[in-house]
Amino acid sequence: MGRSILIVEDEKEIRNLLAHYLGKDGFRVCVAPDGETGFAIARKEKPDLILLDILLPRMDGLDVLRRIRADGETARTPVVMLTAKGDETDRIVGLELGADDYITKPFSPREVVARIKAVLRRSARIPADEEEPGQPLECGDLRMDVARHEVRVKGKTVSLTSKEFSILKALLSSPGRVFTRESILKKAWGEGTCVIDRTVDVHIAKLRRKIPLLSEAIETVKDVGYRLRED
């Protein structure tokens, strides 16, 4: 059976159009007409990807995305934002909250299908030089179990989004190595996604806020990027 896509879109014609094209391409499709229903279906059905509109009744798309990324059942699910809003600020907010891609209306259904396939390929691929480490990664009282996608500090689980987890994994895997913002973007978002450098700074700030010991452990390298202190 094909991979599953959840479409959360309040406009019936758009919902049906996307479902038609995705179904023709072999995807299994489920739909939701509002934000609350969409989040409930996401937790129950665990789709391979969520196509999420921003302007939704009952709960807007950005709030749905926040809940998706904060919930252990859905935190790693790829999300493509779909909206009539073309303002750069809206795009940045969606990406900073953990969206994997952003498509503005009007759109070509074929382009949407192609972008979904690209996001699914990126989410499934582990580059050869980034194979999962056999042992947990550690930094002081922080312990990351990559296989379980779990981070603990002093034994207490810390909830991270998939992007925060990817960034932290890269830093923990190579203490002392300086990662440029561009290299962090490629590791966490993959190639071909329109994300600005400031998004990396926002995610680093969130990691430092969620895990205070990282405030000193992650060093900012001026005009370049970030590194994890070797000590």
Report the CATH number that the domain containing residue 158 is assigned in CATH. 1.10.10.10
Say how many domains are in the chain: 2
**113 touches 51 (CB < 8 A):** no
If asked whether residues 135 and 106 sit together in one domain, one would say no
If asked whether residues 62 and 133 sit together in one domain, one would say no
pLDDT under 50: residue ranges of the chain: 126-131
If asked whether residues 105 and 118 sit together in one domain, one would say yes
Question: Of 64, 91, 124, which residue constitutes the final position of a domain?
Answer: 124
Tokens standing for residue 38: 């969409």
If asked whether residues 9 and 113 sit together in one domain, one would say yes
Strand order in the sheet with 79-83: 28-32, 4-8, 49-53, 79-83, 101-104
If asked whether residues 120 and 156 sit together in one domain, one would say no
Whole-number pLDDT of residue 29: 96
If asked whether residues 214 and 176 sit together in one domain, one would say yes
Whole-number pLDDT of residue 209: 93
Coil vs helix vs strand at 214: helix
Question: Of 95, 124, 153, which residue constitutes the final position of a domain?
Answer: 124
If asked whether residues 87 and 144 sit together in one domain, one would say no
If asked whether residues 81 and 134 sit together in one domain, one would say no
Question: Of 124, 141, 162, which residue constitutes the final position of a domain?
Answer: 124
Whole-number pLDDT of residue 134: 56
If asked whether residues 189 and 144 sit together in one domain, one would say yes
Tokens standing for residue 192: 């071909």
Whole-number pLDDT of residue 129: 43
Tokens standing for residue 17: 């159009």
If asked whether residues 103 and 169 sit together in one domain, one would say no
Coil vs helix vs strand at 86: coil
If asked whether residues 106 and 143 sit together in one domain, one would say no
pTM higher than the cut 0.85 = no
CA–CA separation, 60 and 45 (whole Å): 20
Whole-number pLDDT of residue 127: 46
Range of the domain at 59: 4-124
Looking up residue 96, the CATH number of its domain turns out to be 3.40.50.2300
Q: Which one-letter DSSP state was computed for residue 128? A: G
Give me the helices (H) in the chain, please: 12-24, 35-45, 61-70, 88-96, 109-124, 162-173, 181-189, 198-210, 214-217
- In the numeric block, the tokens 């969130």 are attached to 206
Whole-number pLDDT of residue 32: 97
If asked whether residues 72 and 158 sit together in one domain, one would say no
